[in-house]
Amino acid sequence: MGAANDRRKGVIFGSIAFGNRTANFVFMHWERLEAPSLSELEKLAADAFKRLPEKFRALCGGVVIRIEDFPSGDVLKEMDAEPFDLLGLFTGVGLAHAGAMPETGTLPNTVHLYRRPILDYWAEHHETLGAIVTHVLVHEIGHHFGLSDEDMERIERQAGP
């Protein structure tokens, strides 16, 4: 039997071998659990990105994925939104709108994922955190490509859980 323990998070991972089969387990000390940090959500987003179809990822090129606690005050004002209204946002020039004239001095295309609103949404819905992060990531990257909702749903299904 092997186990990995993350006492700070109150989670014990392990596996037990039964002949040629192995059973994995996760035991959680609920009283010790903490919300995922910015860096942990960044890892979850990176894992979600890796599960997206290879052709889709290849087209993303230099899209940057940033994890922030909340949208900036300027974003909230521009979008006429409250702090928990936005789970993510694409900023930059989407491929569907990129002009023939190259621009200099522009910031990279960026997908912003907002940790606190995502965690709030997760607490109120019956979905896994990974599924929510994948959904928001695909939706925001979809804006980069100018994809339809149907296209984005298909990509999410291909990415799996």
Whether residues 43 and 93 share a domain: the answer is yes
Co-location of 91 and 134 in the same domain? yes
pLDDT per residue as tens digits for the range 4-50: 545 446 666 667 777 777 777 666 666 777 889 999 999 999 999 99
Q: Which residues of 72-105 are buried (b: 16+ CB within 10 A; e: fewer)?
A: eeebeeeeeeeeeebbbbbbbebbeeeeeeeeee
**Would you state the pLDDT for residue 107?**
76
- For residues 144 and 120, state if they share a domain: yes
| Residue 59's CATH number | 3.30.2010.20
> Is 51 found in the same domain as 128?
yes
Kindly state whether residues 54 and 76 are assigned to the same domain.
yes
pTM for this structure? 0.76
Q: How far does the chain reach from its first CA to its final CA, in angstroms?
A: 27
Q: Tell me: do 6 and 46 sit in the same domain.
A: no
Q: How many CB atoms lie within 10 A of CB 65?
A: 18
Burial class (CB in 10 A: 0-12, 13-18, 19+), 57: middle
pLDDT (0 to 100) of residue 1 = 47
Structurally, how many domains does the chain consist of? 2
pLDDT band at 89 (very low <50, low <70, confident <90, very high): very high
Higher pLDDT, 100 or 92: 92
Are residues 60 and 16 located together in one domain of the fold?
A: no
Please tell me whether residues 70 and 112 are part of one structural domain. Answer: yes
- 27 and 51 fall within a common domain: no
The domain of 26 spans 2-31
pLDDT value, residue 19 = 72
User: Residues 118, 134: one domain?
Assistant: yes
Lowest mean pLDDT among 18-22, 67-71, 76-80: 18-22
